[in-house]
Structure 1
Amino acid sequence: MDDTLAQLRAGRLAGAKRIDLSCGLTEFPRELFDLADSLEVLNLSGNALDTLPDDLNRLHRLRVLFCSDNRFTTLPESIGRCHDLDIVGFKANQIRTVPAASLPASLRWLILTDNQIEELPDSLGECTRMQKLMLAGNRLRALPQSMTVLKQLELLRISANRFETLPAWLPSLPRLSWLACAGNPFDTQAEDAAITAQSVPHIDWRELALGRKLGEGASGVIHQAALGKAQQVAVKLFKGAVTSDGWPHSEMAACIAAGVHPTLIAAQSRIDGHPEGTEGLVMGLVDPSFVTLAGPPSLASCTRDVYAEEARWTPNVALRIARDIASAMQHLHARGILHGDLYAHNILWHAQRGGRLGDFGAAWMTGALDAAQTRAFQALEMRAFGCLLEELLERCTNAVPASVTTLKDRCLQPDAAARPTFAQALSLLQQASSSP
């Protein structure tokens, strides 16, 4: 028996604000109701649950509920009666049905990734606090028209679904900044073309000698490796399963299509001949003196990255990072690629050498869109860049030129059509950097 469950049943967790239980549960432990006056975060992921109690709302202080990797086929309606829930996560179940009554209007962050959902209820539009909506890996062909009122929505993941076209109203959402759409029928032709094109050379697996692991994400594992006798590179081996951003296959396609750019961490070669058939890419090895700009969003920050308390830099360093990322994004947009995840946690930086943008897990291609649609969706990424600029400027040790603050405000304005392009932003940043 899980030690936490044993302590719960023995009454030794009085006053607990968070409970994590992953021990093969098939029934909801009723002893949790003894914590009704304190419990705020309940994590029941990794069990064998398929129902929740009808009186779940007795947990009247509950703000966060995670039930991922269970056996739910329907999102329980009892969740909808928990009127103060902030975050709900039911990733990797077998959910086919989302009843209208299952969604409390209080929701700010909803995770339904990797299920079997074909349709969402109109009641989703009543969740007007919604900032983050994660729906990748389902069977959706459309989104409820009621979502047009979700003016706080900033991050949307609808990759690996069945969209033939994208909802025309998406660019009108005033705060939408991070959108992932790859792996849908409208996008797959461009992905397949990128995968099959000889836009990067192919490297035989036997030419690589894998070294230490540099990192691991939802889509794959990155190792340092030796290519031949002298060259040190980074190798990403993909896992193959759907992630919160979509299919790793889509990420590989975007990496290949991105080509080479000095401030972009993109693919140099595609790996052939892995003994287990694993797909992989060879990338340039970034100097270890580069470090990640920030950590990913927390439960509290929801859509905004978390910076170290000591994170500070001069205006020159901030402008160099901003210029480098704007340059990388201009390059991607020119190649018909949207990054989808323009965040500080996907940026490596160095005080003297600027910034490098990586992680194509949420990237998607605009080849199926007309010019007006492409510009509209590119404008969403300008808001993401505005958020990055805001974070960089907040941590500057001295004042930055007024023109940069004005640029930040233009990027963040609600009217997407009035935001600058990355070419315009880069020009303004270069002017600000050269001013005395």
Structure 2
Amino acid sequence: MSPSILLPYIYGLDLSKNEFGNDQQFPISLQEMCNLRWLELNRTNVNRLPEFIGTLKSLEKLSLSHNNLRDVPFCLNNLTSLRSLSLRDNHVSHTQISARLFNNPDLSILDLSHNNLQAFPKDIENAKGLIVLNLSSNQIEQIPSHVFVSLFELVHLNLSDNKIDTLPAQMRRLTSLQVLILNNNPLIHAQLRNQQHVDLLEFPSGR
């Protein structure tokens, strides 16, 4: 039996710590895994994804942490079943994230920690299904007041190790929030009186 016959039946695949680099070095057989639900490509030295990644319509979890990506690949916008996306420890800036990514109502876990974000990604408030959002260890200076207007499902928010000095009053609208992590920010003013529902609050007094 040819191994290629089995490819459509593979549910999960971990290719971490392989050396891929650019999109020309990816195994072409990946595009035959039409039922793939989760894919891990951590520490593969990847700096660009092949377009065929966007054809993996069943993909629910994708991890691309500890790589050399400078933007969020446009092909990810086509992954309409995607629930969890990790781009931890890359070189992504907030201007290199397509707003279309946040139109996916199923996206519930997003990790953009340890990148080069200087601001919140544009239109992130459209990701109304977000439950876990990690933007820690970036260079974010300000939280736009409109960001939390529609993120009612958010349970876990990590903004530690940034340059945030003020929290907007609109954070009171995060009524589902249980974990809020704000360590290592130069906070000088915070309006958290209506956050009694938060179970874990890591919040320094300021620097």
TM-score grouping bracket, smaller chain normalisation: 0.7 to 0.9
State the Cα deviation string for residues 158-198 of structure 1 (Å, max 9, x = none): 1100101332xx2422421100013732xxxxxxxxxxxxx
Residue 107 of structure 1 is matched in structure 2 by 130
1:3-152 matches, cutoff 5 A:
8-10=27-29, 11-22=31-42, 23-36=44-57, 38-54=58-74, 56-74=76-94, 76=97, 77-103=99-125, 104-121=127-144, 122-152=146-176
Distance 1:146 1:183 in 2: 20
Distance 2:109 2:137 in 1: 17
Unaligned runs of 5+ residues in structure 2 are 1-16
Q: Which AA in structure 2 matches 1:166?
A: A
Q: Report how many aligned residue pairs link the two structures.
A: 182
Q: Which AA in structure 2 matches 1:2?
A: N
Residue identity over aligned pairs, in percent, reads 25
Distance 2:121 2:158 in 1: 17
Distance 2:71 2:92 in 1: 7
Q: Which AA in structure 2 matches 1:24?
A: N
Residue 155 of structure 1 is matched in structure 2 by 179
Q: Is the 8 A contact 1:69 1:90 kept in 2?
A: yes
Larger Rg: 1
Going from structure 1 to structure 2, the CA distance change for 1:40 and 1:87 (only over 3 Å counts) comes to: same
State the Cα deviation string for residues 245-288 of structure 1 (Å, max 9, x = none): xxxxxxxxxxxxxxxxxxxxxxxxxxxxxxxxxxxxxxxxxxxx
Unaligned runs of 5+ residues in structure 1 are 186-436
Q: Which AA in structure 2 matches 1:48?
A: N
Higher helix share goes to which structure? Answer: 1
Q: Which AA in structure 1 matches 2:37?
A: K
Residue 2 of structure 1 is matched in structure 2 by 18
Superposition TM-score, scaled by structure 1 size: 0.39
Going from structure 1 to structure 2, the CA distance change for 1:166 and 1:147 (only over 3 Å counts) comes to: closer
Q: Is the 8 A contact 1:46 1:69 kept in 2?
A: yes
State the Cα deviation string for residues 25-70 of structure 1 (Å, max 9, x = none): 111332211211x100010111111112445331010000000110
RMSD, aligned CA: 2.3
Distance 1:24 1:183 in 2: 38
Distance 2:53 2:114 in 1: 24
Distance 1:166 1:78 in 2: 31
Distance 2:74 2:150 in 1: 22
SS in 2 for 1:42: strand
Higher strand share goes to which structure? Answer: 1
